[in-house]
Chains A and B, each alone.
Chain A
Amino acid sequence: MATKTLLEAIREALAEEMRRDDRVFVLGEDVGKRGGVFRVTQGLIEEFGPHRVLDTPLAESLIVGVAIGAAAYGLLPVAEIQFADFIHPAMDQIINEAAKIRYRSNGRWSCPIVIRAPYGGGVHGALYHSQSVEALFYHVPGLKIVAPATPYDAKGLLKAAIRDPDPVLFFEHKKAYRSIRGEVPDEEYVLPIGKADIKRPGQDLTVITYGYNVHLCLEAAERLAREEGIEAEVIDLRTLLPIDRETIVASAKKTGRVMISHEDTKTGGIGAEIAAIVAEEALFYLDAPIVRVAPPDVHPMPFNPKLEAVFMPSVEQQYAAMRDLARY
Chain B
Amino acid sequence: MENRHAALGLSDQDVVAMYEKMLLTRLLDERAWVLNRLGKVNFLVSAQGHEAAQVGAAWALRPGVDWALPYYRDLGVALTLGSTARDYVLSLFAKAEDPYSGGRQMPSHWSSPPLKMFTGSSPVATQLPQATGVAYGIKLRGDDAVVYVSFGEGSASAGDAHEAMNFAGVHRLPVIFFCQNNRYAISVPQEKQMAVENVADRAAGYGFPGVVVDGMDPLAVYGAMKEAVARARRGEGPTLIEAKVYRYTPHSSDDDDRTYRARDEVEQWRERDGLPRWRDYLMGLGLLTEEADAALRQRLLAEVDAAVAYAEAAPDPEPEDLTRHVYAE
- Residues of chain A touching chain B, judged by Cβ–Cβ distance below 8 Å, are 25, 51-52, 54, 56-57, 59, 61-62, 64-75, 77, 89, 92-93, 96-97, 100-110, 141-142, 144, 165-166
Contact = CB atoms under 8 A, between A and B. Distances in A.
A104 B109 contact: yes
Contacts, number: 139
B304 to A, nearest CB: 24
Given A62-B129, A65-B163, A70 B101 contact: no
Nearest to B324: A107
B126 interface: yes
Contact of A62 (B100, B132, B140): B132
Given A74-B137, A97-B126, A106 B132 contact: no
B134 interface: yes
Given A74-B137, A89-B159, A69 B130 contact: yes
Interface in B228-253: none
B119 A66 contact: no
Given A103-B104, A104-B109, A104-B119, A70 B136 contact: yes
B216 interface: no
A318 B160 CA distance: 44
B326 interface: yes
Contacts of A166: 327-328
Interface string B124-154: 0010111111111111110000000000000
Nearest to B326: A141
A57 B166 contact: yes
B118 A108 contact: no
6 contacts: A51-B139, A51-B140, A65-B160, A70-B134, A104-B109, A106-B104
B113 interface: yes
A25 B140 contact: yes
A69 B111 contact: no
Given A103-B104, A104-B101, A109-B111, 4 more contacts: A62-B160, A75-B140, A100-B121, A105-B111
A102 B328 contact: yes
B170 interface: yes
Contacts of B104: 103-104, 106
B319 to A, nearest CB: 15
A89 B138 CA distance: 26
B325 interface: yes
Nearest to A101: B119
B138 A103 contact: no
B167 interface: yes
Contacts of A102: 325-328
A295 B65 CA distance: 53
A60 to B, nearest CB: 9
B209 interface: no
Interface string B104-125: 1100010111000011010100
* Those 8 A-B pairs whose CB atoms lie nearest each other, nearest first: A69-B133, A65-B129, A73-B137, A106-B102, A62-B163, A66-B133, A69-B130, A107-B325
Q: Interface residue tally of chain B, by bracket?
A: 35 or more
Contacts of A72: 118, 130, 133-134, 137
B164 interface: yes
> Of A54, A66, A108, A144, which is in contact with the most chain B CB atoms at under 10 Å from its CB?
A66
Contact of A107 (B100, B141, B166, B329): B329
B328 A104 contact: no
A100 B325 CA distance: 9
Interface in B267-314: none
Contact of A105 (B101, B159, B160, B167): B101
B113 A108 contact: yes
Given A96-B123, A100-B121, A65 B128 contact: yes
Interface centre among B101, B129, B141, B160 (most CB of A within 10 A): B129
Contacts of A77: 133
Given A69-B135, A142-B327, A93 B119 contact: no
Contact of A65 (B100, B105, B126, B329): B126
Contacts of B123: 92, 96
Contacts of B105: 104
A101 B105 CA distance: 11
Contact of B134 (A73, A89, A103, A107): A73
Contacts of A52: 140
Nearest to B120: A104
A245 B134 CA distance: 37
Give the residue among B67, B128, B326 with the most A Cβ atoms within 10 A. B326
A153 B21 CA distance: 55
B71 to A, nearest CB: 14
B98, B109, B129, B133: residue with the most chain A Cβ atoms closer than 10 Å? B133
Contacts of B137: 69-70, 72-75
Given A110-B328, A141-B326, A97 B101 contact: no
Given A93-B126, A102-B325, A105-B101, A66 B136 contact: yes
Could you say which of A72, A75, A103, A106 has the most chain B C-beta atoms within 10 Å of its C-beta? A106
Interface string B17-46: 000000000000000000000000000000
B167 A71 contact: no
A66 B159 CA distance: 14
A109 B113 contact: yes
